[in-house]
Structure 1
Amino acid sequence: MFQRASSRSASRAATASATAPADANATREAVLSASVGADGTATQRASRRVRRVLAGLIAAVIVLFIARVVLGDPVVYLDQLWLILTGETVPGLSFIVTEHRGPAAVVGALAGAALGLSGTIFQTLLRNPLASPDVIGVGYGAATAAVAGMLALGITGPALSLFAFAGGLVVALFVYFMAESGKNTGGRFILIGIGAAAMLQAVMNYLLTRTDVRAAGDALHWLVGSLSSSTWDRAAVLAACLVVLAPLTALAVSKLRILELGDDAATSLGLNVRGTRAALVVLGVALSACTIAVTGPLAFVAFLAGPLARLLTHRTNFVASALVGAALVLAADFAGANLFGDVTLPAGVITGALGAPFLLWLLVRSNKQGMGG
């Protein structure tokens, strides 16, 4: 009897030991499938959110574009706008729509999109929300070269874009190679860029004081950042830049994602870190410089677009950044043209007024997080 009980206990133990791994594997598979399912659900939810945000931003840009064209003094009603767009002449309105408001709206949308892409490239590349062309000297380099071209050589049109691109590129490469010489590349890039911007601002002021008063006045008006001088030719210059640079940005996004993992991880994945970073800097400079050559420096648009897009989508999204930039410039130009009575303010004044408080808030927020860490 004792032997029979012992054999029954042994058989139970053997059965339990045989079924334990199966139960553990089943439990592990259940946990893994649940976690995968939760991750998949979260990813789908995030993707739906991004799609909704992008749809809302597209609608906002379209509404702001139409408002910039039809609202003002005089108001252009939608039936009149349709007649103008179909080629009919509406006395007193056709010229306003086709030669003034239309080009301004197109240039504003294109300029905002280019600046949004440029700012997001620099901010993602340097992993710092302060790293925009406005802050790190690239904008001042492009503006100084453009002012020198306008005042000293009388350059206009596409040649001015080349001058601005060259100035911004020289400054960006100077700051880049200076920052690469030590640790904490992102922080050094910003600090050296701020110093370069201060020197370039002094050079620009010197050029303005040494030239004819009328020419200096035109340059100062341009330096504020205005869409009032927009033409279809200038819109074509910006459109050509974006036709080339936007696809290059789309191709560069995958490289930028790898760089976000850190230099060591990117190198282990076979990426040429220094070459890729330099190429991205050139791309960001080109987007910013082409815009500055056409509109002047629209303050803080490149700085604002990326962080605002991240607040909306909870991730870095270049399409959202471009749409936010376009919406910012169109809204600023509309506000400057219509909300201050008889006074017309350039778009750059409005964007500067919006960007300065945001910069202060960002600095205070970063300081509190640093202290907390």
Structure 2
Amino acid sequence: MVAYSLHDSHRHDTMTDLQRIRRAQAIRSLAVTILLVILLFGLTLADLVLGHRAYSMNDLIGTVWGQGDEGTRFVILQLRMPRTLIGCVAGLAFGMAGIGFQHLLRNMMASPDIIGITAGANTAAIFGIVVLGLSGMPLVCLAVMGGLLTALLVMALAWRGSFDPTRLILIGIGVAAGFNALGSWLMIRSDQWDIQTATRWLTGSLADAQWTDLPILATATLLGAMLLLALDRNVSTLQLGQEMAAGLGVRVSRVQFQVIIVGVLLLAVATATTGPISFVSFLSGPIAAVLVGRGASALIQSGLVGGCLVLGSDIVAQHLPTTQVPVGIITSIVGGPVLIAIMVLMTRRQEL
């Protein structure tokens, strides 16, 4: 009886410790989410009021409520607000797609670009610009189709009863290399004006953002976020390994296919709208994972980090250099040092 009581007491203490850890993780995750929302909101306001002509918060609020002069309304509502909102939503999409693939591939240092989706969307966009002369929504639709068809090709080649992460990555790298070569060939054979247009798109830019681009991007991002949240528990289980996940009742192949399709949708639509903004999908997940700590889902936080990265880089791109540069250039410059810092931090944590 005494032995049983001691065992029961030990089990109770263990459950209490687990509950305490989970409660602490939930509190930390909530706090990080709130802080990221506040930061994203602040960057949104800064991106709207700063510019060649700076506006006050009273000007911004008055314009949103239909007041103010015609010039102010045009600058804020037609030039700055579409750019800011599209940058914010695209960042959310990049961030959530990035961590979705990183969890699927069981590697926080993996990038969804490596399976060729971005390369397929880029090549389709280059073809649309230099051969078909497309722009605006037709170009966006063609780029989305290019990303989706590339994903289907990679999945078909990688499928052997299930999606082995290593095989998926290797085939994706090969497909991406092929599409990048095709895109380079199309660029070489195009005229100077088309090269400039394609280069600006490939760099990742918010300069051509329009209100008409927002509905499709926002709808796809909302739908993708809801689906990834619904799959999040099963995806977390997959990180234990396919055999372990299958033993716990997860339909491994089905979940893998669903995550890939949803991630492709998010990444392709965002890439088609803004171009491939470098490092956002790559960095959002690791940054969010460092912020929320071990054992916590960082899907929402990764999306918020992506939005902050895009808007923060856009503010720098517009105002720090002597001339405006595409936002993708700033994310590329910042991405390398940040990636190194995250790798060092994660390595030290693993050694402890």
Give the direction of change, closer, same or farther, for the CA distance of 1:184–1:235 in structure 2 (3 Å limit): closer
Q: Which runs of 4+ in 1 moved over 6 A?
A: 362-370
Mapped partners of 1:367, 1:268: distance in 2: 30
- SS of structure 1 residue aligned to 2:180: helix
Q: Could you tell me whether the CA contact under 8 Å between 1:306 and 1:316 is conserved in 2?
A: no
Residue 318 of structure 2 is matched in structure 1 by: 337
Q: Could you tell me whether the CA contact under 8 Å between 1:138 and 1:169 is conserved in 2?
A: yes
Alignment RMSD, CA only? 2.5
Q: What is the CA deviation profile of residues 319-338 of structure 1, one whole-angstrom value per residue up to 9, with x for unaligned ones?
A: 00110000000000001111
Q: What is the CA deviation profile of residues 234-283 of structure 1, one whole-angstrom value per residue up to 9, with x for unaligned ones?
A: 12221121233222222222331232232223333444322321221111
Structure 2's unaligned 5+ residue stretches are none
Residue 317 of structure 1 is matched in structure 2 by: 298
Residue 34 of structure 2 is matched in structure 1 by: 55
Asked whether 1:327 is paired with 2:308, we answer yes
Asked whether 1:188 is paired with 2:167, we answer yes
Within 5 A, what are the aligned runs for 1:1-373? 22-181=1-160, 185-314=164-293, 315-340=296-321, 342-359=322-339
Give the C-alpha shift of residue 360 in structure 1: 5.0
Q: What is the CA deviation profile of residues 203-251 of structure 1, one whole-angstrom value per residue up to 9, with x for unaligned ones?
A: 1111112223212211111111011111111122211212332222222
Give the C-alpha shift of residue 95 in structure 1: 1.4
Give the C-alpha shift of residue 157 in structure 1: 4.0
Q: Could you tell me whether the CA contact under 8 Å between 1:119 and 1:303 is conserved in 2?
A: yes
Give the direction of change, closer, same or farther, for the CA distance of 1:23–1:368 in structure 2 (3 Å limit): closer
The aligned amino acid for 2:235 is L
Mapped partners of 2:183, 2:300: distance in 1: 34
Larger radius of gyration: 1
Q: How many residues align?
A: 349
The aligned amino acid for 1:316 is S
Q: Could you tell me whether the CA contact under 8 Å between 2:120 and 2:147 is conserved in 1?
A: yes
Mapped partners of 1:365, 1:88: distance in 2: 49
TM-score by length of 1: 0.86
Q: Which moves more between the two structures, 175-184 or 149-158?
A: 175-184
Q: Could you tell me whether the CA contact under 8 Å between 1:179 and 1:188 is conserved in 2?
A: yes
Q: Could you tell me whether the CA contact under 8 Å between 1:131 and 1:190 is conserved in 2?
A: no
Q: Could you tell me whether the CA contact under 8 Å between 1:80 and 1:90 is conserved in 2?
A: no
- SS of structure 2 residue aligned to 1:299: coil
Mapped partners of 1:120, 1:90: distance in 2: 43
Q: Could you tell me whether the CA contact under 8 Å between 1:128 and 1:186 is conserved in 2?
A: no
Mapped partners of 2:337, 2:163: distance in 1: 27
The aligned amino acid for 1:308 is I
Q: Which moves more between the two structures, 166-175 or 320-329?
A: 166-175
